[in-house]
Amino acid sequence: MQIEIFKIIRSNRKTIALKIDNQSNLIVKAPLSVPFSHLLKIVKQKQNWIIAKKIEVQNRKKFTRNLSDGSKITIFGKDYFMNYVENFEFALQLKNNQILVASDLSKHIKPLLRQLIIKIAKDYFHLNVAKWASIMQLQYNRISIKNTVSRWGSCSSLGNLNFNWKLAFAPLEVIDYIIIHELSHLRHLNHSADFWNEVRKYCPEYKKHKKWLKDNALLLEL
């Protein structure tokens, strides 16, 4: 059976890693110097593991978020209830613990709700990044909320921090882990032992939160 490589990501890493994403695609992470022929050899050696992982992903039940009238949706640890309103003068509005939606726009609820969550996320991350930066005695530049496919956050060499808006559906302690993770890159712009020691210093259970994200990525879909 021929295994197709969907994407090869090369960097200054020292080892080769194989990953099956949520769409069942094979992604290979490799050092810059490793030839393509060697990558094919590794893929062939790991064929059984790759096939098993692909089947696991394909058989995993697709998560569908309930956005019907009266349903509950938790955003950054706070519960809100969907309320579809007739003759509503706004497309969507947040009021106390209710998300008011014009009923005639129910078919467009996902893009409307995504815009609202991104707005909430901006306030949330500005507040909590500032809190953790103060605790860790670090300074950062700019915070942006992104719609990335495979990354929960990132930190640039200029000190700019990016966070995935879908984290709004994650437990608060998991979000804190991502914030600490990205802030730690301000001291170590890599994933060295020193970097992980920095993360562990402020988030002792980071491995638990990292695993939660890996196992529950589908639960963060809108």
Would you say 206 and 195 are in contact if contact means Cβ atoms under 8 Å apart? no
Note the pTM of the prediction, 2 decimals: 0.75
Name the average pLDDT for the chain.
91
Helix intervals (H) in the chain = 36-45, 47-59, 109-136, 172-184, 193-202, 206-216
> Where is the domain boundary, 36, 59, 82?
59
Tell whether 115 and 174 lie within a shared domain: yes
Q: Terminus-to-terminus CA distance in the chain, angstroms?
A: 35
Residues 6+ apart with CB under 8 A from 28: 5, 7, 8, 9, 16, 17, 18, 19, 39, 42, 43
pLDDT score, position 21: 84
Q: Write out pLDDT tens, residues 75-117.
A: 999 999 999 998 878 889 899 999 999 988 888 999 999 999 9
Tell whether 130 and 191 lie within a shared domain: yes
Domain that holds residue 164: 107-220
* pLDDT at residue 193 is higher than 80: yes
**Run of H or E residues at 11:** strand 7-11
CA–CA gap between residue 96 and residue 107 (Å, rounded): 23
Q: Mean pLDDT across the stretch 141-156?
A: 89
Length of the chain in terms of residues written: 222
- Domain assignment present for 200: yes
Query: What residues pair up with 164 in beta bridges, in sequence order?
Result: 146
Least confident range from 81-90, 126-135, 169-178: namely 81-90
Q: Mean pLDDT across the stretch 205-210?
A: 96
pLDDT score, position 216: 87
Would you say 199 and 176 are in contact if contact means Cβ atoms under 8 Å apart? no
CA–CA gap between residue 177 and residue 212 (Å, rounded): 11
Q: Which residue has the tokens 């210093």?
A: 201
SS3 of 21, please?
Answer: coil
Q: Write out pLDDT tens, residues 25-72.
A: 899 999 999 999 999 999 999 999 988 888 877 766 567 899 999 999
pLDDT score, position 88: 79
Dihedral pair phi/psi, residue 212, rounded to 5°: -60, -45
CA–CA gap between residue 21 and residue 169 (Å, rounded): 19
> Where is the domain boundary, 41, 59, 77?
59
Tell whether 111 and 209 lie within a shared domain: yes
pLDDT score, position 61: 59
Tell whether 46 and 136 lie within a shared domain: no
pLDDT score, position 60: 66
